[in-house]
Amino acid sequence: MLVGLDIGATKILGVVTSAEGEVLASVRVPSPAGGDQVVTAAADVVERLRASARSGVGVVGVGIPGLVDTSRGTVRHAVNLGVADGYPFSERLGAATGARIVLDNDANAAALGAAALLGERDLGYLSLGTGLAAALVLDGRLRRGSGNAAGEIGHIPVDPAGPRCECGQVGCLETVASGSAVAALWPGNGQPAAQALFDAAAAGSADAAAVRDRFAARVADAVRLVALTVDPTVVVLGGGVAQVGERLRVAVAHALAEQAATSPFLRSLDLPGRLRLAPLDRPVAALGAALLGRAP
C-alpha cells in the first residue's frame, strides 16, 4: 500500500492507495499556519490513515506548496502556508511518524497523479488553487528545474499596475488567475467562490458572466504560457477551481480560441484541443503524492 499527503493552503488530504491507485482510505483536515503546526496536523493524518488501513506505513509521499529541495526535504517560499524558508519538513514529519518522507512540490505531485490517471507521458498541469503553479511531466519524468522552481509561473508579473502578490512582486499572474483572484472578484457567501461565480453566470447574471470570461482569459494566458514554453501533448486544469468542472474547461477553451482568432500561428497549435480537466472523482494530488513514495 502507498500513502500520500496533499498539503494545501486550506486542507491536508491524505490517502492510502493500492499499488494500482485504488483509494483504500482517506482523511481530510484543515491546514493550520506555520511549519510545526502543519507537521503536527500531517502526522495526525498519517496516524489516522494507519488506523483506517490497519497497516504500518513505511514511506509517505507528500506534496506541499513552495520550492522544495527534494534531496534535503526542505521547503522555501510556501507563502500561503506560513512555513519558514528552509524548514526541514521531511525530517520533522519523519520524526513525528517514524516513516520515511518523500517530499515534493504539490503541483508536481498532482501532475504525476494526472499523468497516471489520464495515461499521458507528456503534459503540463495547471494547479488553480489558492495560488497558481504549473508542473511538467515530460517523457514520463517530472521536470523540477535546477533550483526546483520549474513551473512557478504564478509569480511571473503580468500587470505593473496590479495588486501586490504574496511573493513580494506586483501584478503576478497568480493575482488574476487563481482561486484567490476569483474570491477577490466574486465572494462565494458560504459557497466556493469559483462555483458561485459560474453558477451565477449560468443563471443569467451579466456581471458574473463578465467576471467569468475575464478570469477564463487569464487562465488561458497561463495555458498559453505553458504550451509555448514546453509544447506538451496536453495541458490539464486542476486544483480547487477545477472542481467547477467542464464549465471551466469550456470557458478557458473559448478564451484560447478567441486569442487565436487573429493569429494563424496560435490556431495551428490547437491549444483548445489540448486542454483537459483533471479527473474530478479522484484525489489527483494525493494519489500523485503516494506515487512519489513508490519511486526508488
The one-digit pLDDT tens for each residue of the chain (296 residues) are 789 999 988 899 999 988 777 888 999 999 998 889 999 999 999 999 988 877 666 789 999 988 899 999 999 888 778 888 899 999 999 999 999 999 999 999 999 999 999 999 999 999 998 889 999 999 999 999 888 889 999 999 999 999 999 889 999 999 999 999 999 999 888 899 999 999 999 999 999 999 999 999 999 999 999 999 999 999 999 999 999 999 999 999 999 999 999 999 999 999 999 999 999 989 999 999 999 877 54
CA 22 to chain centroid: 21
By the 8 A CB rule, do 16 and 53 touch?
A: yes
Residue 159: its pLDDT value, please? 93
What kind and span of H or E run contains 220? Answer: helix 206-230
pLDDT value, residue 54: 75
In angstroms, how far is the first alpha carbon of the chain from the final one? 15
Residue 273 pLDDT: 97
Q: What is the pLDDT of residue 275?
A: 98
Identify the pLDDT of residue 295: 59
Q: Can you tell me the distance from the alpha carbon of 25 to that of 224, in angstroms, rounded to the nearest whole number? A: 37
Give the rounded distance of the alpha carbon of 287 from its chain centre.
13
Rounded to two decimals, what is the model's pTM? 0.90
- Between strands 67-69 and 123-128, the pairing is unpaired
- 200 Cβ partners below 8 Å, 6+ apart? 186, 207, 208
